[in-house]
Amino acid sequence: MPPVPISTPEPGGGGKVLPENLQLKLIVTEKEQQIGEISCVVATTQFSTNAADPLIGFSGTIVPEEGGTFLVRYVLSQLFVTENRGSSNTTSTASVRLQLGEPIQILKLGNFTYQLTVSRLAEAPKKGK
């Protein structure tokens, strides 16, 4: 079956510039087994990404707050395809506060769990002489 596009809000204008590059990582597990990962680097407050396997759309905004936390407002969509029951789309819209490097489970849906982490982008190694 070919991939089916998932409808997610399109970012408008890219948002405000962040003071540094950040990495958002969403890990999807089914019955304690990792089945997918979306990792994106952002330099502005808005983000949007789609993955083909599993079929997931993840978009929203990330805003730094006082005290070092980050407020992430997101829309998470996943298309479930089964041979017996056809397909169904599940969408979750919520907000969560995150500390750098500390993963948090943002959604549990049946046997599926979704864990989100925000971290600073590791510096690329500098080229030697």
Give, for all 129 residues of the chain, the pLDDT tens digit: 333 343 444 444 578 999 999 999 999 999 999 988 999 999 999 999 988 767 889 999 999 999 999 999 999 998 876 677 667 788 999 999 999 999 999 999 889 899 999 999 875 455 554
Q: Is 127 left (phi over 0), alpha (psi -120 to 50) or beta?
A: beta
66, part of any domain = yes
126, part of any domain = no
127, part of any domain = no
5, part of any domain = no
Residue 35 structural domain: 18-120
Tell me how many domains the chain contains: 1
4, part of any domain = no
Contact (Cβ atoms closer than 8 angstroms) between residue 119 and residue 100: yes
54, part of any domain = yes
11, part of any domain = no
51, part of any domain = yes
